[in-house]
Structure 1
């Protein structure tokens, strides 16, 4: 993972996420791209000045975030980007060959009942780039145990586990696989993927109505430093991310959440 993208929402979340990204990059040798999205207004009716003010405010926020983080010798490139939040992030990610996006669960508006805000939720739903969602005020620590929660043991997308493999190697971490058998599981989903077999340390199987219920049941016994899930064409997480915002009653974790795109 050589290129990490950190979009700024609120200043506090931007500081928290940049600190995490810098610590991550200090271990991996990655470059961190810190961006802030601002709206471009129509040039008609003198709105050009409004756009200029928005860009200047945006740059000032980037400068404040940078001033509050010790970059530890990591290369951090900061730039304001015009456009809507999702389109801007998607455009920059493609141009810079981003390997990992580090974001807050809620980027701007903080609502206690919500786990994923609308901007983060939309990114999760539409991007195929691995995303690491950092809880509010979470302090970086070297991950020793990663919990991968899956329903199916086989994967449609080739090399879908490569980002997870990279993180395991970076941290010298153990991978604990939690296979949650739900009532709709198909027989072909029982075949253990060769790549998964190579990287897993422990394997636990449980029967629950949803993957989330299985995670809740086994979370304490595993005590993961990172929780990893896959977004697929169907299943619990496909349904969960159909709407942009995700409520805590439907899904919530106090650990960083790594989301991989399992859609071919």
Structure 2
């Protein structure tokens, strides 16, 4: 049974991600863990501590009860599926810490969550919670853009620099989707030249061996701006339903997702982003 974590703050954005998850895996036996994390704002916490610790404890209990109540309402809205089980978790904690604990304790295989721009600007794709989850957990993540309408992933963009020697474990999530939905793969390489170095040629050969039974094609983009290049490629093809990226380590995601010295993601897309963590170095 596949174990999937669904963080929620009960917003339309997070509920949309839950609907995406249940639809994507509607034919698979899954256990979904619904996680709501809450915490008293720091200033309020500090003021209460100065006056009455009992009031602080009462407020925490009130927030916990509210979380449980909203969880029950949410469960009632989710369509029944005999293949799906649900467990709710309400946690007074820091968001990133709570997610890490659940991933570890419940042996979570995949996190699916909505995205919300930290500044509230609609052109910002990734909020701080989502980007923290991607960078700080060795767990695969599907990030669902705000207001995205579910579609089966018939065409998947797979960006690569051919610097990674992919393993079967790395590509398993991609190939699972291909088999399940008869998806086509668009491998996109960013380079000013069509020529590859020797190690890139070998890595491409290995990749091609894994994709031999899948409908796939290779594209080279000369745009040196990843955000802009991928966005233009997606817009040029009407049938793209997902972007999948396999990354190697924290530094890779930091360079990919964040502008220098500004903790704001500039990655623009209107389709789900599936981030897979490279299993070996």
The TM-score with structure 2 as length reference comes to 0.80
Task: Indicate if the aligned counterparts of 2:242 and 2:274 stay in contact, CA closer than 8 A.
Answer: yes
Deviates more, 1:192-201 or 1:91-100: 192-201
CA shift for structure 1 position 128 = 1.8
The whole-number CA distance in structure 1 between the counterparts of 2:188 and 2:117 is 29
Map 1:186-225; keep pairs closer than 5 Å: 187=197, 188-191=199-202, 192-199=204-211, 200=214, 201-222=216-237, 223-225=239-241
Match of 1:71 in 2: 80
Match of 1:45 in 2: 53
Distance change >3 Å, CA 262–CA 13, structure 1 → 2 = same
The whole-number CA distance in structure 1 between the counterparts of 2:101 and 2:117 is 18
1:180 and 2:166 aligned: no
Instruction: Give the secondary structure class of the aligned counterpart of 2:18.
Output: helix
The whole-number CA distance in structure 1 between the counterparts of 2:208 and 2:163 is 8
Return the match for 1:238 from 240, 249, 254.
254
The TM-score with structure 1 as length reference comes to 0.85
CA shift for structure 1 position 102 = 0.5
Task: Indicate if the aligned counterparts of 1:150 and 1:211 stay in contact, CA closer than 8 A.
Answer: no
Deviates more, 1:31-40 or 1:16-25: 31-40
CA shift for structure 1 position 140 = 2.0
- Give structure 2 stretches of 5+ with no counterpart: none
- Give structure 1 stretches of 5+ with no counterpart: none
Match of 2:93 in 1: 83
Q: How many residues align structurally?
A: 261
The whole-number CA distance in structure 2 between the counterparts of 1:59 and 1:72 is 22
The whole-number CA distance in structure 2 between the counterparts of 1:28 and 1:109 is 36
Distance change >3 Å, CA 106–CA 87, structure 1 → 2 = same
Task: Indicate if the aligned counterparts of 2:60 and 2:92 stay in contact, CA closer than 8 A.
Answer: no
Match of 2:150 in 1: 140
* Structure with greater Cα Rg: 2
Match of 1:259 in 2: 275
Map 1:107-118; keep pairs closer than 5 Å: 110-118=120-128
1:92 and 2:108 aligned: no
Return the match for 1:61 from 26, 47, 70.
70
CA shift for structure 1 position 186 = 7.7
Match of 1:169 in 2: 179
Instruction: Give the secondary structure class of the aligned counterpart of 1:160.
Output: helix
CA shift for structure 1 position 157 = 6.7
Distance change >3 Å, CA 246–CA 168, structure 1 → 2 = farther
Instruction: Give the secondary structure class of the aligned counterpart of 2:268.
Output: coil
